[in-house]
Amino acid sequence: MILLVPEGTEARYLQGLPQSVEIAYLPKEGPLPEQALRAEFAVAPYGGAKHFFTVLPQLAALRVVQTLTAGVDWILPKMPPHITLCDAAGVHDTPVAEWIVGAILGAVKKFPEFRDAQREGRWAYQWVDDLEGSTVLFLGYGSIARATERRLEAFGVHFLRVARTAREGVWALTELPNLLPQADVVINLLPYTPQTEGLFGAELVAQMKPGSLYVNAGRGKTVDQDALVEAVRAHRIRLISDVTDPEPLPEGHPLWSLPGVFFTPHMAGSTHKLFERGFRLVVEQVGRYVRGEPLLNTVSRDQGY
């Protein structure tokens, strides 16, 4: 069986593959090597996948594509029906959970404001808040939310969990209007699908507790960004986000300079351990494929994750 991996993949990441597996490399540009054309299993490039999509029709033997991303909205529409797509759920739990905790603490202690004052040479003394005793609402309760919750427990916070499907300890999305007024922090971890596009609209933004913090580590298109901007302008909420709509954010957009906003360029999961964690999953998946066992993280075309 031939495994197709992006050009430049380090050999150390491929240790532990079954002996029957041959490695072929996907070039960043140009024609595919003959061996690559016979690949059954491919690892989608992490960023810069344009060439992969260009050569995809040539991969007649391809049966499985494994991403190194948790979200698959960028690749799912381009996958032929006969190919099984698997996401990287679990791979990004640690870095994204750490980003979220850092984002919340930074906002509660007003680090962005103090940084701005430092750059301006101002000694801007002010009182700040405690995280202890706060209520944190998870919008989307999967592995990243659970990893974040474990880290936040030490701060003595209370949790409200909301997901598409209600279950023990988790509320349904329909309960958001009742739960949002209780939340000091709202963490959006929703994937982007046709069902979640614009889900957190102006009506829900209006239900948020005055002075609360909205943290988006999911997808920019799941929220009405204009409604968030207006709520921040009115000093009703604060916003910290790793995602925007669109990306990159265009020049002159209010999020660049609006007080009460801090964002990063969709990098929460981009740490130096990404490929170590990601290819650990790849090795497991390829082993399962060779042994004829069920694959992990298979993506539902109806749900988008």
Query: Nearest CA to 159 among 175, 176, 183?
Result: 183
Strand partners, 24: 4
Phi (first) and psi of residue 211, to 5 degrees: 85, 0
Average pLDDT of the chain is 96
Q: How far is CA 119 from the centre of its chain?
A: 31
- pLDDT attached to residue 302: 75
In terms of DSSP H, where are the helices of the chain? 50-55, 93-108, 111-119, 143-152, 176-179, 202-207, 225-233, 274-291
pTM: 0.94
Q: How far is CA 99 from the centre of its chain?
A: 11
User: How many Å apart are CA 1 and CA 35, to the nearest integer?
Assistant: 11
- pLDDT tens string 258-272: 999 999 999 999 999
Q: Is residue 247 pLDDT above 70, yes or no?
A: yes
- pLDDT tens string 172-181: 999 999 999 9
- pLDDT tens string 3-22: 999 999 999 999 999 999 99
- Find out whether 188 and 222 touch, Cβ atoms under 8 Å: yes
Question: CATH 3.40.50.720 occupies which residues in the chain?
Answer: 2-91+271-291, 93-263
- pLDDT tens string 31-78: 999 999 999 999 999 988 999 999 999 999 999 999 999 999 999 999
Q: Is residue 301 pLDDT above 90, yes or no?
A: no
Q: If one looks up domain 2-91+271-291 in CATH, what number appears?
A: 3.40.50.720
Q: If one looks up domain 93-263 in CATH, what number appears?
A: 3.40.50.720
